[in-house]
Amino acid sequence: MNSSTDICNNCRAALREKEKGMKVPQHISSGPSSFIPESEILEAMPLGDHTVMLLAEEFSGRMDNLTQVMGLHPHYLQAFLRCQYYLLRMDGPLPLHYRHYIAIMAAARHQCSVLVCQHVQEFEQIGVCSDWLRGLEHCPQRIRNLNEINKILAHRPWLITKDHIQALVKTGEHSWSLAELVHAVVLLAHFHALASFVFGSGINPDPEVAEVTGVADDLCPPAVSGICSCHLTNNGRANDSSPGNTNVGSELEVLMERMKRLQEEREEDEASEEEMFTRFEKEKKESLLVGSGGFDNNKVVPPSPVARFVDDPSFGYQDFARHGEDNLPTFRAQDYSWEDHGFSLVNRLYSDVGHLLDDKFRTACDLTYYNMASHEGVDTSMLRRALFNYVHCMYGIRYDDYDYGEVNQLLERSLKVYIKTVTCYPERTTRRMYESYWHQFRHSEKVHVNLLLMEARMQAELLYALRAITHYMT
């Protein structure tokens, strides 16, 4: 009964959105993802190798939608699952129910009900402190103290300072130990980034999750697809081929051409210092204009069942660049890098997780099939690096040795809109955005893009958080 009213609310909210001229995520009626046809995903499944199957202990037999979509890249999936399994289930500083609750808090920041439901269910299975699920005010102060860094990391990680760390760690009744804090931070970053992936790939809620009983009933409306009229009207794929498709042929060629040219040009391109600087600034500034146009940034999020896990819901993304350079110095990647600094800190405080994260980042960054759409034998490293660095650029992280002009050349505007939406406010991702870029590319390639965005985002959050912890420690 509860759930039916919720759906009506959903519908109403959806209609409201539509009146504003926005699209809400449309659901293909079934399958793991609402963006990707089920057949594509099932096709890829045979790739799943044995190790992945072993790791599927997570999923009590059935793989959830998220895993199925990620299964398009089994090599990565393996690293991902291993890492997530370690974070959630293996020995660590935090008790198990804390971990899931933190996951819920993190996912709730982006109103990602797929992840929230999943972890509400897991939390219930542990069977302790189930009243926490009634909302933040029912959980201990100690956990509530995390709210501050949760919201900062989720939306504006560059604002985190050692004072935040100090406030959490300083001795007192509700204090966190550094090891616990690092565990919590890694969990937060992991689930913020995962929310990006979920929205970016249009993951559908898992059907079983709906069977949850008890306090969390209203959290997880039974699989939204099919019941609600707004989804029924939109679930056809007829209108998929948007008008942009007419010139798709050239689009890919242009991109390939540009990559080739950049590769050749590199030798003689002698951009001056100032030039490089302006290019970075330009990308930073441009990211400002991209995307968020249609949204009122301060708009109050409509109350949803997930909102009970969110504190200060009005705190949202704000552009890094908007604040000007004087009060927010650019983060120099060379001064605090994951490989040199982040890894050592994480591994010191929460043993072995560094290796798993390292493996995950590395797998995501190095993953390539030497394919681009229909072309084979293409070196995509340049494109991958552009994607990765563009995300970091939006978070104010600059690589001295990267020419941000490349970003401009390689990433078309619609892709930039998509990237910005998925990384900064993933809950606003729509199917149209997903479909508006790279028309000729395969779905698996778009999922690959999402993986890169997710890892880049996670690393950016981690770098800011770990730098703050390092500052606190020295």
Partner 1 sequence: MAVMEKMTRASSGGMISGRTMFCHLDAPANAISVCRDATQVVVAGRNIFKIFALEDEGFVERLNLRVGRKPSLNFSCADVMWHQMEENLLATAATNGAVVTWNLGRPCRNKQEQLFTEHKRTVNKVCFHPTEVHMLLSGSQDGYMKCFDLRKKESVSTFSGQSESVRDVQFSMKDYFTFAASFENGNVQLWDIRRPDRYERMFTAHTGPVFCCDWHPEDRGWLATGGRDKMVKVWDMTTNRAKEIFCVQTIASVARVKWRPERKWHLATCSMMVDHNIYVWDVRRPYIPFATFEEHKDVTTGIVWRHQHDPDFLLSGSKDSTLYQHMFKDASRPVDRANPEGLCFGLFGDLAFAAKESLMSGEVGRKPYAGGDRRYPIFFFKKPDVTEQFAQVSSALSVFETAPGGAPMDWFIKTARRYLLSGRPFAELCEHNAKVAKDLNRPQVSTTWTMLRIMFSDPANPSSSSNHNLSKLGNLPLMNSFSMKEMSSALTERNKENRQDNIHNLDSNLNTTEDNEETEGSEGQAEYLFGDAELDDDDLYSMEHENQAAEEAEFSLPQEAFPLRHEIVDHPSAPEPLTEKPESPHVSGSEAEATCLTPMESFSLISVSSSLLFPPHLPPAFFSPVVIAMLRYYAEQGDVQMAVSVLIVLGDRIRREIDELTQEHWYMSYIDLLQRFELWNVSNEVIKLSTCGAISCLNQASTTLHINCSNCKRPMNNRGWICDRCHQCASVCAVCHHVVKGVFVWCQGCSHGGHLTHIMDWLRNSTYCPAACGHQCEYT
Question: Toward partner 1, which CB reaches closer, 264 or 335?
Answer: 335
Compute φ and ψ for 50, nearest 5 degrees. -65, -40
Q: What is the CA radius of gyration of the chain?
A: 22
Give the C-alpha separation, 338 to 461, whole Å: 11
The three-class DSSP label of residue 397 is strand
Task: Quote the tokens at residue 369.
Answer: 């099939």
Q: How far is the CB of 76 from partner 1 (least distance, A)?
A: 18
Closest to partner 1 by CB, 5 or 351: 351
Q: How far is the CB of 354 from partner 1 (least distance, A)?
A: 9
**Residue 205: partners with Cβ closer than 8 Å, 6 or more residues away:** 65, 113, 114, 117, 220, 221, 223, 224
Report in angstroms how near the CB of residue 296 gets to partner 1 at its nearest: 38
Nearest distance from residue 376's CB to partner 1, in Å?
A: 23
| Rounded least distance, CB 213 to partner 1, Å | 17
- Between residues 97 and 431, which has the closer beta carbon with respect to partner 1? 97
Cβ of residue 439: shortest distance to partner 1, in angstroms?
A: 31
Reference 276, options 464, 417, 460, 407; nearest CA is 407
Count CA within 13 A, CB hemisphere, residue 264: 5
- Token representation of residue 415: 């892709």
- The reply to whether 112 belongs to the active site is yes
Cβ atoms of 430 and 362 closer than 8 Å: no
In the set 112, 117, 139, 230, the catalytic residue is 112
Q: How many CB atoms lie within 10 A of CB 145?
A: 16
Whose Cβ is closer to partner 1: residue 235's or residue 470's?
A: 470
Closest to partner 1 by CB, 95 or 236: 95
Tell me the CA distances in angstroms from 178 to 10, 153, 471, one per residue in order.
41, 17, 13
DSSP state of 211: G
Chain residues binding partner 1 by CB under 8 A are 53, 56-57, 60-62, 89, 95-97, 125-129, 266, 270, 272-274, 276-277, 332, 334-335, 339-341, 343-345, 348, 355, 358, 400-401, 470, 473-474
For partner 1, the closer CB: 319 or 406:
406
Residue 468 C-beta: closest distance to partner 1, Å:
14
Half-sphere exposure of 458 (CA within 13 A, CB side): 28
CB nearer to partner 1: give 15 or 128.
128
What does the DSSP assignment read for 97-164?
Answer: HHHHHHHHHHHHHTT-HHHHHHHHHHHHHHTS-GGGGG-GGGS-HHHHTTHHHHHHHHH-GGG--HHH
Which residues are tagged catalytic? 112
